[in-house]
Structure 1
Amino acid sequence: MERESATTYEPKRNSEIRVFESFDDISTDLAEYISQISEISVKERGYFAIALSGAPLVSFLWKLCEAPYNKTLDWSKWYIFWTDERAVAKNHAESNYKLTKEGFLAKVPILNGHVYSINDNATVEDAATDYEFVIRQLVKVRTIGVSESNDCPKFDLILLDMGSDGHVASLFPNHPALELKDDWVTYITDSPQPPPERITFTLPVINSASNIAIVATGDDKVKAVHLAVSDGTEGPDAPALLPARMIHPTDGKLVWFLDKAAAASLEANNGDASYDEHAEYRL
């Protein structure tokens, strides 16, 4: 895969950090990244099971709606899920389903029957239970793979965006949901960001994916990026449980997609090396 506009870092085993000059560069590389995983998954398993995060991430998927991807990808083999969802109606302005449908799904030929949104008529607790049941049924028939390490679903790709507080999906710093081990999908009623009621994948499910991508842009993400990827002790200001730092693929690969603003602390840490958009650095 060519990444002419990206600087690449390799901070930890099975993880990679790509730093880009612009949003357009991120979108271009992300489209190629998703395309390659899709093609490999369809060839090897016959399906491509992808779980998406919220609205900020959808804005980076527009390249997939254009040539060549809109014609070359085997969209009939795509299965769409959400890593998290707000407990609101599907036509609500804060619905991840609505935002994804308008920004992506309506522009590509993914089969309606392959799009799995939550039951927005149920309570948030029941919606989480129902969503986990649906995933378990699809794991049984191997539409979604299964992890050999822990029997969790093994999504081909989980796409996440990271908040300035270091949250991913609807897993927030120091929240009890971070400690769940057996549930695949859980619910929260006390999100620090509105709306308060949400369903979310748990860490074991996210970490069981074959591929995980985290997108973070903007200078408000600098501290969270630093805390998430740095080795050693971060100091007293770091949250005890920072969700983004807890993303460690069990048997997969993690790739960070950052703009230069979000990656500013990484640039500072490599201040002894000249910045080269074609270079590779190791942290």
Structure 2
Amino acid sequence: MRGNTRITVHPSFEVLAATTAARLITRLLDVQSERGEATVVLTGGSVGIATLKAVAESPARLAVNWSKVNFWWGDDRFVSADSPDRNHVQAAEALLDHIEVDPARVHVMKPADAGLDVAQAAAEYAEQLAAAALAEHRASDDYDGDAGAPLLPRFDVLLLGIGPDAHIASLFPEMAGIRTKDAAVVSVTNSPKPPPERVSLTLGTINSADEIWLVAAGSDKAGAVALALAGASPVQVPASGANGRSRTRWLVDEDAAAKVPGALIARLDA
């Protein structure tokens, strides 16, 4: 856990979603004021989708130029394009269908009925990331990608949910995905929770984000949150390995924070 980690504990699920939505709108506005466009990586899950709904319902959303926001996904289920299990489908219903987005800036992971297998879908998403990174490189003199590393665009905010087992995106404890270091995107064929096939960003790609926001609610997440903040190994506790380049925010409700020592909360909230 890096020194730029912060935690904010919210009194309820509803307050957590509303506050995270307000924080996201503000962050996008700040980035757009600096660079004209902004990039966010979306997550699924109950809090992730509730946050997007809260963005859609906020009058402040009108201040954001949504046509200049790039959308990526941390992971998605490898099911049919119209499946309600798809993070993309849920995000569209919650937010994307209610704002004026540029379809070319919405980078969707290929579904199971697109004519590719799950490994090919992961490779295709890595190609999308590389193409976006090269476009940024041509447009800017301050591109700072590491030589030999996967080509990645700039992520201003990357949202992550946390499972009760401490998984993030579709990187599960002790499985191959959390151990993968030489790829931007990984395919999952044996997810411990259905559906078994998924496409996910790797931990290295996740950690390329400027800011990572880990959002969790509910008592079933309390153990995972506590272990991650205690610095457990990412192989066993994937959430502990998520660290943004400039900042990592833990945005949790009181139930999810219940097992985190008060002294640690006080230090991280300072």
TM-score range, shorter chain: 0.7 to 0.9
Please, what TM-score do these two structures have when normalized by structure 1? 0.84
Fraction of identical pairs, as percent: 31
Is the CA contact (8 Å cut-off) linking 1:153 and 1:209 kept in structure 2? no
Paired with 2:214 and 2:262, the residues of 1 have a C-alpha distance of 21
Which SS does the other structure have where 1:196 is aligned?
coil
Equivalent of 1:15, from 5, 26, 34? 5
Is the CA contact (8 Å cut-off) linking 1:147 and 1:154 kept in structure 2? no
For residue 239 of structure 1, report the CA deviation from its aligned partner: 8.1
For residue 196 of structure 1, report the CA deviation from its aligned partner: 0.5
For residue 226 of structure 1, report the CA deviation from its aligned partner: 0.6
Which SS does the other structure have where 1:141 is aligned?
helix
Which SS does the other structure have where 2:100 is aligned?
coil
Q: Which moved more, 1:190-199 or 1:108-117?
A: 108-117
Question: Is 1:137–2:137 an aligned residue pair?
Answer: no
Hey, what does 1:245 align to over in structure 2?
A: 240
Is the CA contact (8 Å cut-off) linking 1:153 and 1:205 kept in structure 2? no
Give the partner amino acid of 1:270: G
Is the CA contact (8 Å cut-off) linking 2:216 and 2:252 kept in structure 1? yes
**Unaligned 5+ runs, structure 1:** 1-10, 274-279
Which SS does the other structure have where 1:59 is aligned?
helix
Q: Check 1:13–1:260 CA distance in 2 against 1; reply closer, same or farther (3 A cut).
A: same
Is the CA contact (8 Å cut-off) linking 2:179 and 2:235 kept in structure 1? no
Paired with 1:154 and 1:118, the residues of 2 have a C-alpha distance of 18
Please, what TM-score do these two structures have when normalized by structure 2? 0.88
Paired with 1:55 and 1:270, the residues of 2 have a C-alpha distance of 27
Give the partner amino acid of 1:245: S
For residue 93 of structure 1, report the CA deviation from its aligned partner: 2.1
Hey, what does 2:174 align to over in structure 1?
A: 174
Hey, what does 1:5 align to over in structure 2?
A: none
For residue 179 of structure 1, report the CA deviation from its aligned partner: 1.9
Hey, what does 1:8 align to over in structure 2?
A: none
Q: Check 1:223–1:60 CA distance in 2 against 1; reply closer, same or farther (3 A cut).
A: same
Which SS does the other structure have where 1:36 is aligned?
helix
Which SS does the other structure have where 2:259 is aligned?
helix
CA shift digits 1:202-236 (9 cap, x unpaired):
011101100110111111111111100015xx6xx
Give the partner amino acid of 1:51: V
Q: What RMSD, in angstroms, separates the aligned Cα atoms of the two structures?
A: 2.3
Paired with 1:214 and 1:138, the residues of 2 have a C-alpha distance of 24
